[in-house]
Amino acid sequence: MTLIIDITPPVRQGMAVFPGDAHFKSANTFEISEDCPVNVAEFSMSCHCGAHADAPLHYDRKGISVDQLDLTDFVGPARVIDARGPEALCSPDMLRASLADRPLRVLLRLADRIDPMVWPEGFRAVSPESMTLLADHGVKLIGVDVPSVDPETSKKLPSHEIARSRDLRILENLALSAVEPGDYELIALPMKLEGLDAAPVRAILRPL
């Protein structure tokens, strides 16, 4: 049986979200009883809750929505790189040694561990120079284990801007603390949410 490594944090009531964003909520629509044979639940949340894929529409008024993304970008070989460090931004120097023969997808471990119930204030993000370096090496998808490739206080989103200009795909809020650096098969398909700027993914890795 092929080993599956789940890199999707749980989505649950009370989970942390970007300050001001919509929280996850759920309720029971139907419950099993003498008069009802099934349980049915409903939920609402931000498109950016938990592990998710950003669409260009998230950072570009004229960008395509998440249902228009090419799914092949989200399936295939991926390299997990341990890019932890004390600086606020992951610099190109942290990545260069790990880019030889890299696949089209790179997942960056930036945090020691993320508690999905606690907002990671001051989380480490990715410098625009690092985004450019990865794009220059042919990388198509960049994933991180923090809420954004840009710092939480950023207003200009320079790393998202590199993603826009270089047509990169972004995965955020992955759970990478238990994953050893190396090459894997990534499967992280976004929900087909028509016209929206992001979508949840159930992201997994499988050893190559």
Catalytic residue IDs? 58
Q: Which two tokens stand for residue 90?
A: 């992951």
Q: Which two tokens stand for residue 189?
A: 């398909």
- Output the CA–CA distances (angstroms, integers) from residue 168 to 68, 114, 115, 123, 191, in the order listed: 14, 24, 27, 21, 18
CA gap 119, 133 in Å, rounded: 29
Residue 68 is classified by DSSP as: G
Cβ(142)–Cβ(104) below 8 Å: no
